[in-house]
Structure formats: structure tokens, C-alpha cells
Structure 1
């Protein structure tokens, strides 16, 4: 009888060792300590380890759920505030202030693209489209949020007023009707908090919402 046949038999006869208690007591397995342990002890160890792993997975799921709930609430508040915004300055201020309230956002900046009909407060950061595309080409080329580390030079440019040591960033392009309108930068003090494996669904949605609000008011200025 082959090893595979033994395994198949035991799987199909899970009560085998119940009927063969003497055999169960005689079986032993090597342990990391160097001592032999019974098959029953080994099973208890495996089940305990699986329980610990399951608890860790459950804790991760609960943590992600809480983060998503918080981000949803932040997004909801932002959308409502943007609906009440009466000019582009208010859009920029509301976006930055609302997002900065989120627990996992230690720094936030919105950079508007220069526009012939753009009239905003001097406190709002404005930059040429050429420079933004040159410095953050991948963000606008891929048209989705880019997560990871950036250079010290870019950190100083994105968060000049931050008193936090930013170690990871998420850069969200703001595009409406194919036109690049702004860049939203998020910063976190934890290394790899914003990483390539992070689900950016909410961040991308924020970019779309801010883009629609900017597009609406810029169009109103033209008319």
C-alpha cells in the first residue's frame, strides 16, 4: 500500500483512530524540542496553531472593516461639503480639511492645475500642468491613485507645512472629462502604510468626486 493510499483511507475513515485507540497511543511524532509527542498532542498543537491563525485573520478583517467604515464616513462628509462649496477655493479647503481629519491621514495637500479661469486664494497651491506631469508622470499616465514612497524632494514639495515625518504617500489624480484638474496627496507616518497592495477604491472615488466639483465651478466661471 502506498503513502497516498494510506492518506486517502484515513481521510475517508476519520473515525479510524477512535476504533484503534491502542494504535493511537503507540504512535509518536518528532517535536522541535527533540522529544517525541503523541499523535493526539500533535493534533492539538495543529488545531491550536490554526486557531491562532484564524484569530489573526479575523482581527485583520475587523481592522480593515473599521478602516473602511472610517474612510466611508470621511468620504460622505467630503461629498456633502463639496456640494455646498460655492467656489474653487472652498473646494480645495474643504477637500484638504475633511481628509486631514481621517485617523490614517497625517498630511494632506491638494494642488490645483493652472487654468485660465482659475481664481483662488493665495493659500491654495497651484502648479502648471507641465510640472505636475513631469514630476508625477505615472500618476496621471495610469489615471489612478499611486501608493508608495517618494523622494525627499517630492515630500518637501507636497507637504511643506507638515510637522510630521511622512514615510509613505498616496497620490490621487483629479481628472474630469479627460482633463487633469488637480493632484491630491495623502501622507502617513508609517512606512509602507500606503503601499502597492493597498485597495485604492475610496481614494480613487474621492478623486472623481473632487474632479466633478471642480469641473462644475470652472465651467460656471467660463459661462
Structure 2
């Protein structure tokens, strides 16, 4: 005999048997009729999409903005998956941008550390010859320079030392407009390159032109790499190098 009481359709604890049908999803409920003008516009859009089935592949950014209800049925799954793919690709691009920013930040931090070390080194050197030699060595070793030049007033003691030629040049012989303001990066004008980098030294493919403080001269760092110094690069570290070069020269400038 059966047990007393009301019979259950399923005695399993999980209740995985027959269930009451759920209410229809709001996304599947019939929408109120559109005004005639809106209906015509929607029909034109739908007709265009049917005539161009690859449109969304050609414009994946639109997929990221579409709103597709979860209860829209199995045919909507491919669109949802495509949306996920578009968002994933966008996320990967953002991660790549972030990685690049972090890489540049680490490089800048390393350059600032090297600049600080150079400043401390120059402070310990009393004579001009050794001080400028250390400055050039640091430019080549830590800042990837292939050549370095300093232009300064003709009366500066550095120009009286033949052993500093061709590192130091007379500012009065500067060809073209004077270099003032912010550092400039990129290819050099032919006249300036020929004056600063005389034979047998080849002219640089790219260079940084750094005015020294108080108009006391110009530091020029050249590279055979055409992409080493370019128009859109940051100049914060270059300005600091100019300050250091100016301080190194100022200690021996005439009063």
C-alpha cells in the first residue's frame, strides 16, 4: 500500500522532476506596435542587415554596444559570443597599452637614476677635463649616444684646451638661428650637422639639441639610429642632462 498523505510527483531531494512552467521572460513578451514611421525605419534596418549578413563582422565595434537579452533564445548565442570576443580583444589592446606605459615608466625611472648618479659623480670631480670626459662617457654608456658636442661662448676655458677638441665648439660660430627654449629632437639641419660633426665623423641620423641654462651653450647628443631621437619623444630627462652639462661648464666659466 502507498504511504498516507498527498502524493508527490517527485520525492527526490533535488526536486529535479516535473516543475511548474515559469512565467515568460520580459524580453520575449510581445512589444506594443510601433508607429508607422518607426515601423518603416525598423523594416529598412532589418532588410539591410539581411542583405548584408557580414556587416557586423566589418564593424565589430557595434557589437560591443548591442543589448541582447539572455532569454532571447539559442539564435542569440552567436551574437553574445561575438560580443564577448570583441570585448576580450578590446581588453587585450588595453592591457597591451598598459604594459607599454609601464615599460616606458620603468625606462624613465632607470634614466632618472642614471642622471642622479651622473650628478653625484660630477660633483666629486674638480678639474674641467675630467669632468667633461665623465659627462661624455655617461652619455655614451647610459644614454646610448654615438657622439656628443658642447657649444659654448668662445671665452670659456674649455675652448682653450686642445685635448677637448672636437667636443667643445665656439657658440659664436653657430650656423642658423640660436637654440633656445625646450630641447629639440629629430634629424639635424645639414648646415648644423656639418658644423658640429666634422669629417671624419659622420653626421648623426637623429639628434637631441639641448639648450643649456641661462643661454650659456648647447649640448648636442647624436645617434646613428634614425629612431633614437624623434619629434614626439619626452624631453624631461634631456632637460636634466642639459642642467648637468651647464653646471659642469659653469664651474670653470670666466667671472
Both structures adopt the same fold (TM-score exceeding 0.5): yes
Whether 1:47 aligns to 2:47 is no
Match of 1:168 in 2: 206
Match of 2:146 in 1: 106
Deviations, residues 164-209 of structure 1 (Å, cap 9, x unaligned):
883221111112xx3x333211223333432222110111111122
Structure 1 contact 181–211 (Cα < 8 Å) conserved: yes
Residue 91 of structure 1: how far off its partner (Å) = 2.9
Whether 1:129 aligns to 2:178 is no
Greater per-residue helix proportion: 1
Match of 1:26 in 2: 75
CA distance change for structure 1 residues 187 and 93 in 2, over 3 Å: closer, same or farther?
same
Higher Cα Rg: structure 1 or 2? 2
Structure 2 contact 128–249 (Cα < 8 Å) conserved: yes
Provide the secondary structure at the position in 1 that maps to 2:164. Answer: coil
CA distance change for structure 1 residues 206 and 136 in 2, over 3 Å: closer, same or farther?
farther
Structure 1 contact 96–110 (Cα < 8 Å) conserved: no
Structure 1, unaligned runs of 5 or more: 4-10, 29-37
Deviations, residues 78-115 of structure 1 (Å, cap 9, x unaligned):
20121122233233212111111125433333333311
Q: Please give the TM-score of this superposition, normalised by the length of structure 1.
A: 0.70
CA distance change for structure 1 residues 136 and 52 in 2, over 3 Å: closer, same or farther?
farther
Equivalent residues, number: 193
User: Distance in 2 between the 1:91 and 1:207 partners?
Assistant: 14
User: Distance in 2 between the 1:54 and 1:162 partners?
Assistant: 47
Residue 57 of structure 1: how far off its partner (Å) = 0.7
User: Distance in 2 between the 1:162 and 1:76 partners?
Assistant: 33
Q: Of the candidates 58, 61, 69, which is equivalent to residue 17 of structure 1?
A: 69
User: Distance in 2 between the 1:149 and 1:156 partners?
Assistant: 12
Match of 2:189 in 1: 151
Match of 2:114 in 1: 74
RMSD: 3.3
User: Distance in 2 between the 1:151 and 1:115 partners?
Assistant: 26
Structure 2, unaligned runs of 5 or more: 1-33, 42-64
Whether 1:212 aligns to 2:247 is yes
Structure 1 contact 107–164 (Cα < 8 Å) conserved: no
